[in-house]
C-alpha cells in the first residue's frame, strides 16, 4: 500500500540583499514556503510509519515549479528505498548549503560545484548526473541594442542567486574581460530564474544569466529572448546521498535511478531537459574544482 500526504513546512523568508522582485514568482517566495511537496507517511514496501528522508533540491526555480519537476523523482526514490521521502527546498542557496552541511538532507539534487563540496566536506556520495551538460547562457531582450559581450560594460545583469553555478561561470567570464564585479558589471540576484526573466522583461536589467535547461523547464518561448553569449558548459545538476544511508543502499539507489531514467522515467527527465542519468566520473569531479575555488574565494570576501 502506498499513501502520499503533502507535507508543508513554513519558515520566515530571508530577503536577498538585492532588488526586490515585484512579480508573481517573487510573491510566491515571500509566502514562506520551504517544503515543496512530499512524502509517503507509510513505507511503500513495509507499510510501517516512519520519518521520511529529506530530499533537498537547490532553489534555482520557484517552489511550485520545483515541486512539479522533482516530485516524480522523489516518488521513485521512495519506491526504490522502500522508505518515505520528503521533497524540500530552501528560500535561497546559502540556506540550502547550510542544511546540506548540517546533514539535514539525506539526498540532494544540487549545483554541480556544490555537489563536489558536499562530497569532499559534508559526507555525501555521488549518485548520478544528467547526460546533458549545464549550458549557461547570457540572454537579452529580442529588441536589445546589445550585440556582444563587451557592450554590457556598466550594465546590470540578473542571475538567480549569487552562489549559483551559472553565476560563478559569469563572474569568471566577466573578470577575464578585466571587469570588476560591482563596478564595470553589476550582478543582481533575483531569487529564481523566473524572476530573472521578469526583470529582463521589465527592463530592470540589460541581460540575464540562465541556462538551456531552465529555459526548457520554464517553457519560455524562443521569441521572448535573444542569446547574446554562450558560456562554457560544465557538468549538470548532481544527485548525491548522505553516507549514513550506507554504501550498499547508495549503490543500489544509483543503479536503479540510472536504469529508471532510461526507461519508465524518460518523460520525467525529458521535462527537465536533462536526458537520462549517468555515473559521475572522476573527470567530472575534477572539472568542478575551479568553481569550488571561486566559491571559496567569494565566501572569504573576494571579488
Tell me the pLDDT of the chain averaged across its residues: 85
Structure confidence by residue, pLDDT tens digits, 136-152: 999 999 999 999 999 99
C-alpha dihedral over 294, 217, 138, 60, to 10 degrees? -30
Q: pLDDT-based confidence at 49, cuts 50/70/90?
A: low
The DSSP result for 211-253, as a single string, is EHHHHHHTT--GGG-EEEEEPPPB---EEEEEGGG-HHHHHHH
**Which DSSP letter does residue 105 get?**
-
d(C-alpha 231, C-alpha 233), whole Å: 6
pLDDT reading at 8 higher than 50: no
Asked if residues 221 and 52 have their Cβ atoms less than 8 Å apart, the reply is no
d(C-alpha 59, C-alpha 77), whole Å: 19
Domains of the chain: 4-133+235-299 (3.40.190.10), 136-230 (3.40.190.10)
pLDDT reading at 193 higher than 50: yes
What average pLDDT score do residues 218-234 get?
94
Asked if residues 41 and 84 have their Cβ atoms less than 8 Å apart, the reply is yes
* 65, three cell numbers: 515549479
pLDDT reading at 79 higher than 70: yes
Q: Is 275 left (phi over 0), alpha (psi -120 to 50) or beta?
A: left
Structure confidence by residue, pLDDT tens digits, 238-281: 999 999 999 999 999 999 999 999 999 999 999 999 999 999 99
pLDDT reading at 211 higher than 70: yes
CA dihedral over 98, 103, 109, 113, signed as positive or negative: positive
Supply the pLDDT for residue 39.
37
pLDDT reading at 286 higher than 70: yes
Residues in the chain: 303
d(C-alpha 134, C-alpha 118), whole Å: 19
Supply the pLDDT for residue 236.
84
What average pLDDT score do residues 36-43 get?
39
Amino acid at each position: 500500500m502506498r499513501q502520499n500526504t503533502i507535507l508543508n513546512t513554513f519558515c520566515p523568508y530571508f530577503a536577498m540583499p538585492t532588488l526586490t522582485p515585484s512579480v508573481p514568482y517573487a510573491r510566491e517566495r515571500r509566502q514562506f514556503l520551504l517544503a515543496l511537496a512530499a512524502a509517503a507517511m507509510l513505507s511503500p514496501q513495509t507499510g510501517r510509519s516512519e520519518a521520511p528522508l529529506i530530499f533537498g533540491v537547490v532553489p534555482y526555480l520557484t517552489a511550485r515549479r520545483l515541486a512539479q519537476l522533482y516530485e516524480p523523482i522523489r516518488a521513485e526514490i521512495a519506491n526504490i528505498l522502500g522508505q518515505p521521502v520528503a521533497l524540500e527546498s530552501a528560500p535561497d542557496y546559502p540556506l540550502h548549503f547550510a542544511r546540506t552541511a548540517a546533514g539535514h538532507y539525506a539526498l540532494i539534487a544540487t549545483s554541480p560545484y556544490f555537489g563536489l563540496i558536499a562530497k569532499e566536506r559534508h559526507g555525501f556520495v555521488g549518485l548520478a548526473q544528467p547526460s546533458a551538460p549545464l549550458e549557461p547562457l547570457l540572454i537579452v531582450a529580442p529588441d536589445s541594442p546589445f550585440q556582444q559581450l563587451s557592450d554590457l560594460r556598466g550594465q546590470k545583469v540578473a542571475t538567480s542567486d549569487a552562489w549559483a553555478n551559472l553565476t560563478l561561470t559569469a563572474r569568471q567570464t566577466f573578470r577575464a574581460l578585466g571587469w570588476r564585479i560591482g563596478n564595470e558589471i553589476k550582478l543582481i540576484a533575483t531569487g529564481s530564474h523566473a524572476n530573472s526573466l521578469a526583470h529582463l522583461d521589465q527592463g530592470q536589467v540589460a541581460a540575464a544569466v540562465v541556462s538551456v535547461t531552465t529555459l526548457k523547464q520554464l517553457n519560455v518561448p524562443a521569441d521572448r529572448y535573444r542569446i547574446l553569449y554562450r558560456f562554457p558548459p560544465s557538468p549538470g545538476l548532481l544527485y548525491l546521498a548522505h553516507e549514513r544511508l550506507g554504501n550498499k543502499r547508495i549503490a543500489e539507489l544509483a543503479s536503479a535511478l540510472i536504469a529508471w531514467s532510461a526507461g519508465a522515467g524518460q518523460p520525467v527527465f525529458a521535462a527537465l531537459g536533462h536526458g537520462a542519468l549517468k555515473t559521475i566520473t572522476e573527470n567530472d569531479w575534477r572539472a568542478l574544482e575551479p568553481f569550488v575555488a571561486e566559491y571559496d574565494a567569494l565566501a572569504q570576501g573576494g571579488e
